[in-house]
Structures are given as structure tokens and as C-alpha cells.
Structure 1
Amino acid sequence: MDIDCIEPAARGINAGKAVSRKYAWIVFALTFGLLLSDYMSRQVLNAVFPLLKQTWGLSDTQLGSLSGVVALMVGLLTFPLSVLADRWGRVRSLVLMAALWSVATLGCAVATNYGEMLIARAFVGLGEAAYGSVGIALILSIFPSHLRSTLTGAFMAGGAFGSVLGMALGGFVAVHFGWRASFGAMAGFGLLLVIAYRLVVSDKRIAARYPDVPAAKRQKDGVRTSLRTLLAGLFSTVSVVCAYIGSGLQLFIMGAVIAWMPSFLNRYYSLPADKSAAGAAVFVLLGGVGMVTCGVVTDRICRNAPSRKWITAVVYCLLSLVCLSIGFRLDAGPLQLVLLGVGILVVAGTSGPAGAMVANLTPASIHASAFATLTLANNLIGLAPGPLVTGAIADRIGLLGALQLIPLVSVAAMIAFAIGRSRYARDLNRIDALREQASPNEPAQKPLA
């Protein structure tokens, strides 16, 4: 997320300076709506896994690749496309991205084989790659700073809500009108929002109503660094690398379980596609609620002791390992579903602690790049390979066997977070020393959050 570029703009705008609060909320609503479309287009695929498997005779590996290729494209392109969006214009970039993923989703609806579907899904990922970072940057630039946390939380929660809608509505439409209609419905929703967005929002209108927004550009121009210096800041300590890796490993489990939950409910609970998709949507919602809840709990516990965030991350890993491992080994029934729900509730709870540690362990001038790196790790280590690896294992030992093994990745995540905690104090002192050298007149301060 382009934190460095957006914070100065946010600080420069207060309630008294905002020319049109109403217009700001309209921009938020439309940007949030496109975020819903983003995740609906991404997750509708999981709802129609059983139908695609039956229609084209696909292996579980192929099904997993159709899901994983989107996360792969997002992971690879988030950072460069975010930089381009800041230079080309955020609103124009958002419109182009949303139009691309909507048209690509329509391409999924008319695909005639696995290869065509894979290409279309890759273009879905291309369109979605930078939407989250650019969208939140735009929103925070036009609202007063005291609303920043509220707006960020609400915007990011849209991912979970969009996933739920995509899986639930996609499954319903697929059962009644066919799987092609599911992709067509998501594409139509996205294109309607693109038209509305293009008619209502523009870079010129925002610049006219919020004259302080260009401060973001001035900040960006003042923090350009060489590639060598940038990389040195991003990977300067062992603990920050551990935060990247630990976060990605936990999201490997999240990505795998969420992608295959509709198929799990279809195969082992004998639910039709629409009901299995609706059931899986509940688990997706739990995952989103868990990310918010675990973040709040972590901040409460660690208010005066930031190093405890490493411990909370380890605890979330351990809870997810226990609940998911036991849950997938139980017989089908209510107890299994409860344990799986608890496991999914905490499996991505490490996202908050990991993000806080990345912010603490990197210079403020490169926070945008640091969060882009975290996004890269989350996708390339976690969300992209999770569904694919699970599908490959399922082809050999069955889906249930694969889902029983996947939670073991939490062990590696716990090790990464434990190593990070062991090095955190010395790494933080090293960064403080560097800050003192860079700004001798400003005393270094250890972060409290």
C-alpha cells in the first residue's frame, strides 16, 4: 500500500478544508463498490469448481492453477503498477483496472477450454493487481486524517465481503443458469460500476475540490532513492525478512483452505454447488472478521510492548494449526465445521502483527515499498501457491488428505516469527541508530504500535 505517498496528503486535509464532504463519501462508495467487484470476480471461480471439473474433466491441479494465477499476477505487479498509477493519475488508473478485470471476467464466461480460462484469469489478476493500494491511496487523500483508521479498516473489509458475495451469488447463479452466467453476472456488475465511476469521479474534480491532494506528489518527488538504497532498507534486518516470510506462509493456508472449501463441502457433505458456495462464503467472512478482530486484540495486548506482537503472531499460528489439523481429521459434522471455523478465524490473524513489524523495521521514507514487498510475499509465498499446491497433492492422495497436510505450514510460520522476535530488539536499535545518523537534530523514537 502506498503509505508514504498518501499520509502527507491525509495530514494536509482536515474537516475545515474539505470543500465537499458529500462528494468524498460518493467517491468512497464507488471505490468501495469496485473493490467488491474486484473480489467477486476473483472468488466466483471457487464457487464453480465442481461444475468446471465436471464439464472439462479438469484435475485438481488445474483447478488450483486457475485460482492461483490471479494471486500470482497480483503479487508480481502490485508494486510497479502502483508506481505507474501515481504518475499517470489514480482515478484513470482505477477505471482502467476495473474495466480490464471486468472484461477478463467476461472472457472467462466465453472460454471453451482450460487454456483460454487460464489466460482470462491471468488478465483478471492483471486488472486487480494494484487496485487495493491505489484505491485506498485515493480515499485517504480526500478525507481528514482523524478518519484514516476507520476508512482503512472499512475499505480492506470490502475484500471479505466481496469474496462472500462472489462465492454465494456465483454458486446460486451457476446452479440456476449455468457456470458461464456466473462469470457474466460478475462482469456485468463490474462494467456498470466502471461507467458510473467514470461519469462521477475524475482526477480533475478531486484536484478542484481538494487542493491539498497534490502534496502527495511533492512528497513522492522528495523521497526518491536509488535501487540499491531501497533494497537495503527493505531487507536491512533479519526480523523484517521474518515478518515478510511468516505472513506469506500463514496466507498460504488461508488461500488454500478458502479456495478449496466449496469443493470440500461439495465432496464430503454432498452439498450442491450453490449451497457449498454459500457455506464456503461463511468461512470467508469468518476469515475477514478474524483479520480485524485479531488486529484489535493485538493492539490492545501490545500497546506498551511492541515486541509482544511477535508472540501474538505465534499464538495465531498455533491456534490455526491445532484447529484446522484436528478439524480436517474429524468425521463430517457440526464439530468439524466449528473447529474449521475457529481455525479460519485466526489463520490470517498474523496479517496485523506482521504489517506493524514491517512498518517499525523500515524507514518511513520507503514505507510504500515496504508494504508492496509485504504484499509480494503474501501473494508469491501464500495466496498464489496455496490453491495450486493443494490441488497437486489432492490429485495424489485426495482433497481431504491434502487439506489435512496444509495446516502444517503454520510450523514454518511460527519458526519465522520466533526468529524475528529473537532479533527484534537489536534490529530496532540498529534502525534507530541509522535514523539518528540521518537526522541528528531529531531524536530517534521507538514505535509504540
Structure 2
Amino acid sequence: MTGPAERRPMTRGYAWLVFALSFGLLLSDYMSRQVLNAVFPLLKAEWLLSDAQLGTLSGIVALMVGLLTFPLSLLADRWGRVRSLVLAAVVWSLATLGCAVAASYGQMFLGRFMVGVGEAAYGSVGIAVVLSVFPVTMRATLSGAFIAGGAFGSVLGVSIGGVLAELLGWRWTFAVMGLLGLVLAAVYGIVVTERKLTPSGVERGAAPGTGGPVRALLPRLFSSLSVLCAYVGSGLQMFIAMALLAWMPSFLDRYYGLATGKAGLTAGVFALITGIGMVGGGMVSDRLGRRDPHLKWTVAVVCSVGSLILLTFGFQLPPGAPQLILVGFGTLLSNATAGPAAAMVASLTPAAVAATAMATLTLANSLLGLAPGPAVTGLLADRFGLDTALRVIPLAALVAGLAFTLGRRHYDRALRSVSSRPLRTTELST
């Protein structure tokens, strides 16, 4: 990365404008992804779909994100990050408009498939753009806010989607989300350009046409048991969080008798709680980690075990206020591990490949959590009922907690391994 002496000034106002527009596109990303969950009941009734089919429509987006995040992130580094972000936003927005005119499950599946293709690399590339225009000292705060933006976008997608579906029908819900994305993509393309970002000190190796070889980078991303445990633990907690996010509107519709609009708004509150937990988990982890880095692992273990206990007992209760309160606290902890896990990955991989490490974490979150979470819940719901499925899903936190515990145990050895194996110049310049 370029040093301070190599940077030419960028105004603070423009840097925050880049953040605001990038954050706005992130909200559009997750609104387009999660709006489907708000209209599950309507699609199920109109097309006579099974819960497994509904879960697949949600999970296919996350699956494509997981499969394509890494290669598209590398491509964006070479082709140009801003151009890649604008193209991605156009693709997912047009695909969302395609969902609005879908006439069958197959057409909707194709539309959702393309939504996933468009959204695949936005998270990793978007945060790279944001971090390139701010001082290094703000990276933790900005990363936490950017990750939590996904949860806030989910809140808007589920809440606004439910209201629009009730007022205008589910097709207009997709149409509004698609049009919003196209408008934001146009504004972003006009205001943010590679030329304006480059003087701020975009990382060397991150500009178009550069970057180290994959063969040299990959071994450093899986170099210790601890970093593998961080990937696995983060992904399994994401499994729980995404299952809840996808199926909470349907749960409220079936067991609380809420109309589509009200169910979407109420589910949006739970999505908001998830985002608050992500921000809070990162803040607590950073504060405690200043005294003892091992405490970041402890925070992750506590959140995993806490979400397991609260959600398991919560879904055992009959519908009512006590159930919603327990489930709410469980939801708060369900993805509070995101911040600690990202910090662990950052500390266990060389700084020279930090962006690629975050893409790898995104890959783990997608393949272990975002993609299978909604789909597996749908399969279980078809066989045993949605209430039973939601009692089983929290068991993933047991494995996540064990992974974080194992990672903590081997953390010192992993840190020594990273510090004793700096990247060679030939690896960076090849």
C-alpha cells in the first residue's frame, strides 16, 4: 500500500461522499436480495410453492455470491473497482426487474440467479474502495459499519417490501427495488471515478492491471488452524442469522397471524437487531482485545453459546411476547461474531493480502451460511413444520462455538507463524 508521503490530498467531504454512495449501493444490494423474503407467503399461495422451493429462491443468491466472490474480486482489482461496482449494480438491478415480470418458479429462479451474479463481489470490492479513501486508523470502524450495512439493507428490504407487496402486489415490490438500484448506480458512476480515487492512494496491487499471482496468495489464506476456525465459526453463525432473516416473515404470518405488511415490518425489527448485534459485537471485541487479543475469541464463543441457548429455548415456547423477547435476544447474538471473526482473520493473514482474506471470509460466510441457511430451513420446514425447523437451526451455533474455542487455543502459535513468514518481494511483484 502506498505510504503517506506518496498520497496526494483528497477532501474529507469527497471521501465521505464516496462512503455514502458506496453504503447506499450496499443497502440496494441487500434490499434486492432480501425483499423476496417479505413476499414468501404471496408467492407460496400464487404459485403453490413448497417451503423448499422458497428457500432455494433465497439461497441461490447467496450461493452465487459465495462461488463468484473470489474470482470477481480479483477481476475487479485488475479491470477497475469503480467500473466493476457500477456494472454489478446494473446487473442485480436489471435482474430484480426481471423478477418483477417472472411468470413461473423457473423464471423467478433465473432472475434470482442473476441477482446473485451481480451482487457477488460488491461487498469485498465496495469496502476496498471505501478503505482506499480514508486513513488507516479508521479501518476498523468503517469495516464494521459497512458489514452491518448488509443487515440494515435487509431491514429495509423486508420492511418496505412487505408494505409495498400489501399495497401494490409483489411484482411492484421487485420493480421498485430494481429501479432504485439503477438510479443509485447511475449516480455512483457519475460521481465516483477511478481518476478521482487514484490520487488518494489506492493500494498498489489493487489498481487495474496489477496484483500478485493467486498461486502465491492462496497458501497464506489457509495457513493455520486458527484462521480456518475463524472462517468456519463465522460461516455457521451466518447460517443461523440468514435462516432467521429469510423465514421470520413466514413464521410471523403462520404462527402469529400477521398480514404480509405487518409481518414484514416486524421481521424488519429482528433484522435491525441483527445489525445492532454485529456493530456491538465488533465494538466489545475491539475494546476487550486491547487488553488481551484472546478475548476476541472469547467474545465469539460467548455469542455462539448465547445464541444457541436463547434461540433454542425461545422457539420451544408458544407464540407470545416471551417467545419474541427470547428470540430477539438470540437474534442479537446470532451474528455478533461477524466483527470478532473479521478481526481474527485480519490478524492471522499478511497485511499484503488483507483484501483477498476478506473475500475468502465472504466466501466462507456464503457457502456455509448465506446459501444453505434459508434452503436447509425450507427443507426441514416441509418435512417437520417451520416451527420445528427453527428449533433445530440454532444447533449450528454449537459447532461454531467449538470452532472458535479451538481457534483460541491455537491462536498464539498461528500468530507466530504469520509474523515469522513475511511475504517475499518476489511474491508481491510476480
TM over 0.5: yes
Percent of residue pairs bearing the same amino acid type: 56
Asked if 1:103 is matched to 2:90, the reply is no
Asked if 1:327 is matched to 2:314, the reply is yes
Q: CA deviation at 1:9?
A: 5.0
In structure 2, the CA distance between the partners of 1:226 and 1:161, relative to structure 1 (3 Å rule), is closer
Higher mean C-alpha displacement, 42-51 vs 424-433: 424-433
In structure 2, the CA distance between the partners of 1:243 and 1:219, relative to structure 1 (3 Å rule), is farther
Q: List aligned pairs for 1:262-411, cutoff 5 A.
A: 262-411=249-398
Asked if 1:253 is matched to 2:240, the reply is yes
Q: CA deviation at 1:370?
A: 1.9
In the alignment, which residue of structure 2 is the partner of 1:176?
167
Please give the secondary structure, in 1, of the residue aligned with 2:257. coil
In the alignment, which residue of structure 1 is the partner of 2:405?
418
Does structure 1 conserve the Cα–Cα contact (< 8 Å) formed by 2:133 and 2:200?
Answer: no
What is the identity, as a one-letter code, of the residue corresponding to 2:265?
A: A
Q: List aligned pairs for 1:9-408, cutoff 5 A.
A: 9=2, 17-207=8-198, 210=199, 212-213=201-202, 215=204, 217=206, 221=210, 224-225=212-213, 227=215, 229-408=216-395
In structure 2, the CA distance between the partners of 1:417 and 1:26, relative to structure 1 (3 Å rule), is closer
Q: Unpaired runs of 5+ in structure 2? A: 426-430
In structure 2, the CA distance between the partners of 1:58 and 1:27, relative to structure 1 (3 Å rule), is same
Q: Between Structure 1 and Structure 2, how many residues are aligned?
A: 425
Higher mean C-alpha displacement, 34-43 vs 418-427: 418-427
What is the identity, as a one-letter code, of the residue corresponding to 1:159?
A: G
Distance 2:336 2:59 in 1: 21
TM-score of the superposition, structure 1-length normalised?
0.89
Distance 1:139 1:12 in 2: 20
What is the identity, as a one-letter code, of the residue corresponding to 2:33?
A: R
Distance 1:146 1:309 in 2: 19
Q: CA deviation at 1:191?
A: 1.2
In structure 2, the CA distance between the partners of 1:360 and 1:206, relative to structure 1 (3 Å rule), is closer
Does structure 1 conserve the Cα–Cα contact (< 8 Å) formed by 2:77 and 2:207?
Answer: no
Does structure 2 conserve the Cα–Cα contact (< 8 Å) formed by 1:10 and 1:144?
Answer: no
Distance 2:78 2:203 in 1: 12
Q: CA deviation at 1:10?
A: 8.2
Does structure 1 conserve the Cα–Cα contact (< 8 Å) formed by 2:132 and 2:203?
Answer: no
Task: For residues 254-311 of structure 1, give each alpha carbon's deviation from its aligned partner in whole angstroms, at most 9, with x where no partner exists.
Answer: 1111110000000000000010010000000100110110111122222222122222
Task: For residues 124-163 of structure 1, give each alpha carbon's deviation from its aligned partner in whole angstroms, at most 9, with x where no partner exists.
Answer: 0111111112112112222334443443333333212211
Please give the secondary structure, in 1, of the residue aligned with 2:317. coil
Q: CA deviation at 1:214?
A: 6.5
Please give the secondary structure, in 1, of the residue aligned with 2:268. helix
Higher mean C-alpha displacement, 414-423 vs 140-149: 140-149
Distance 1:299 1:146 in 2: 13
Q: CA deviation at 1:34?
A: 1.2
Q: CA deviation at 1:395?
A: 0.3
In structure 2, the CA distance between the partners of 1:314 and 1:45, relative to structure 1 (3 Å rule), is same
Distance 1:46 1:10 in 2: 45
Distance 2:349 2:15 in 1: 31
In structure 2, the CA distance between the partners of 1:357 and 1:38, relative to structure 1 (3 Å rule), is same
Does structure 2 conserve the Cα–Cα contact (< 8 Å) formed by 1:13 and 1:144?
Answer: no
TM-score of the superposition, structure 2-length normalised?
0.93
In structure 2, the CA distance between the partners of 1:44 and 1:9, relative to structure 1 (3 Å rule), is farther
In the alignment, which residue of structure 1 is the partner of 2:428?
none
Distance 1:426 1:387 in 2: 36
